[in-house]
Amino acid sequence: MRDLPQHRPVLAGTVHNGTSEAGVRLEALPEGHLLHVLGAIEPSALTGALAKVGFAKSAIRKAGFRQWFVAGDEPLVPASLDALAAALAGKAYVMDQSHGRVRIGVSGRSSRVLLSKGTAVDLDPAVFLEGHSVMTMVGHLSVQIVRTGEDSFELTVLRSFAESLWEDLSHMAASAEKDSA
């Protein structure tokens, strides 16, 4: 049907114009899947359940007390969601958040300088280890920050705020690039 809305990635066409010498890269990550899992299940058991139903490449991020986000680049197949819900029955609940949240990658040698302009979280690698995540504010927006590498992070934000966060990060990147020069 032609009158049905068509999916368009919210950050499609956005580009950060920073130079490679500046040390900051912003990237709109694929709008694959993002699942919110709630329940008294250990991360190792969640990892096992994910592997059994085809989500082995997905990353698990702590999102609060007995809460995790399961993020991946592959689009969600409804049958896979049903299989995961069945595998977690009695242990945890799973809710699809893929349509409601967007992931943004921030990387480069000045990535911590950039993020420190918007949040009070201590992002020092000795404190905020790779794989760690935190729900925090970046400016006025609620964001989950995950360290994905030495100088790389992934930010997850509500879809309706993604463009605003992108604009804020672009402005902070310009400032971070000046500070690191």
Q: What is the pLDDT of residues 17-64, one digit of tens each?
A: 544 445 889 999 998 999 999 999 999 999 999 999 999 999 999 999
Cα separation, 88 vs 91, in Å, equals: 5
pTM: predicted TM-score of the whole model, two decimal places:
0.87
Confidence of residue 174 (pLDDT cuts 50, 70, 90): confident
Give the domains, in start order, of the chain with CATH numbers. Answer: 20-30+100-180 (3.30.1360.120), 33-96 (3.30.70)
Specify whether the backbone of 144 is left (phi greater than 0), alpha (psi in -120 to 50) or beta.
beta
Class of residue 111 by CB neighbours under 10 A (exposed 0-12, middle 13-18, buried 19+): buried
β-bridge pairing 67-72 and 133-138: unpaired
Residue written as token pair 């420190």: 116
